[in-house]
Copies of this chain bind each other. A is one copy, B any other.
Amino acid sequence: MSGELTFVDAVNRTLAHAMREDERVIVLGEDVAEGGPYLVTAGLAEAFGRDRVRNTPISEGAVCGVAVGAAQSGLKPVVEIMFIDFVTLALDQLVNQAAKAHFMSGGQLSVPLVLRTQGGSGQRNGAQHSQSLEAWLTHVPGLKVVMPSGAADAAGLLRSAIADPNPVVFVENKSLYFRREPVPDPAEAIPIGRAHMVRSGRDITIVALSRMVGEALTAADQLASEHGIEAEVIDPRTLVPLDLATLAQSVTRTGRAVVAHEAVTAGGFGAELAAQLQAAAFDYLEAPIQRVGAPYTPVPVSPPLEDAYRPGAEEIIRAARVALEWGQHDAEPWEKGALASS
């Protein structure tokens, strides 16, 4: 069975399903028993009780630590950090405790927790409620990092995240929350670590994360209709572990690639993708890997500024064209590079 659901409802239904299936699954976070500001957890307290769906005070650090301790002792907590911007307050617990417990204990402990959070700009919420910080977490061995691009993937990936015996950071994007698409019920688990080929094409590969997958498809359509360029669009779905093989095979075929995310370009996960792809597909590359991301500024709040800040299909097209036209200009090479990555 399958019906149209919003991203929010897909996550909500998956949480309910997991809680029904497994008593050990609990949900905790600020206002989760009231549904939270986006209603992602709406109805769960009514269905499963306030013992398993726990409102917490504004204590991000300790609450994340509670989830770690609960996970180590047999529960499967799904803890929510309301905005990824506030993961800054919980990183000690996530990085120094959750990520390292299995390793440091020589395998005695495991930490099957899911940390759900959401990031992204576009709502005029300003610099402290709009960030995309997933790259930090990909630099922490012991964490897995998942970034769904739509409702169906969110449902399927969340199932896998909850089933996983490791700490999984599940990064949603608030701009996707109210988009609808068909979501199977029950959602089948989508394996962590396998990329999704969203559109195939022979001319250029676009690797896009989260909200940028939709933007990449828009870009691909426009490249096809206006320029006759066939872009292949791949959604890695999970950043850690990363399905490099699928990405690299595509790039060796197309010879050109754009990697796109909403986070600030510098130090973003696109750097890792570019570094890995240039190494993996070097002999086949016709142009340098192009990166698309946000500029190197905090997120401004004024609408035209935020709109200009926010990367989208247009920036992907521009980057694709740099890659496609590579070799036709005479600028000094590092100027080209700077151009492409800013």
Q: Which residues of A contact B (CB under 8 A)?
A: 61, 85-86, 88-89, 91-92, 95-96, 99-100, 103-104, 126-128, 133, 135-136, 138-142, 240, 244-245, 248-249, 252, 263-264, 266-272, 274-285, 287-291, 296-298, 300, 326-327, 333-334, 336-338, 340-341
Contacts and interface: CB of A to CB of B under 8 A. Distances in A.
A266 B274 contact: no
9 contacts: A100-B298, A133-B139, A136-B139, A141-B298, A244-B338, A279-B288, A280-B338, A281-B337, A282-B285
Contacts of A270: 275
Chief secondary structure at chain A's binding surface = helix
B126 A104 contact: yes
B333 A296 contact: no
B104 A248 contact: no
Contact of A336 (B61, B280, B289, B291): B280
B278 A278 contact: yes
Contacts of A272: 266-267, 271
Given A104-B127, A271-B275, A274-B278, 13 more contacts: A103-B127, A135-B139, A139-B263, A244-B337, A276-B337, A276-B341, A278-B337, A279-B290, A279-B338, A280-B333, A281-B333, A282-B333, A282-B336
Contact of A268 (B139, B240, B289): B139
A122 to B, nearest CB: 18
B298 A288 contact: no
| Residue among A85, A128, A135, A266 with the highest chain B CB neighbour number at 10 A | A266
A300 B139 CA distance: 16
Nearest to A295: B141
Contacts of A135: 139, 267
Contacts of A128: 96, 100
A280 B85 CA distance: 32
Contacts of A91: 88-89, 91
A302 to B, nearest CB: 10
B139 A267 contact: yes
B334 A248 contact: yes
Nearest to A283: B333
Given A88-B95, A89-B92, A139-B135, A289 B279 contact: yes
Given A274-B274, A279-B289, A281-B333, A96 B85 contact: yes
A341 to B, nearest CB: 5
- Of A95, A99, A139, A285, the most chain B CB neighbours within 10 A belong to A139
A289 B133 CA distance: 25
A289 B336 CA distance: 18
Q: Select the residue from A240, A263, A276 with max chain B CB neighbours within 10 A.
A: A276
A277 B340 CA distance: 12
Contacts of A337: 244, 248, 276-282
A289 B298 contact: no
A313 B141 CA distance: 23
Contacts of A141: 264, 266, 296-298
Given A104-B126, A139-B267, A341-B276, A92 B86 contact: yes
A286 to B, nearest CB: 10
Nearest to A92: B88
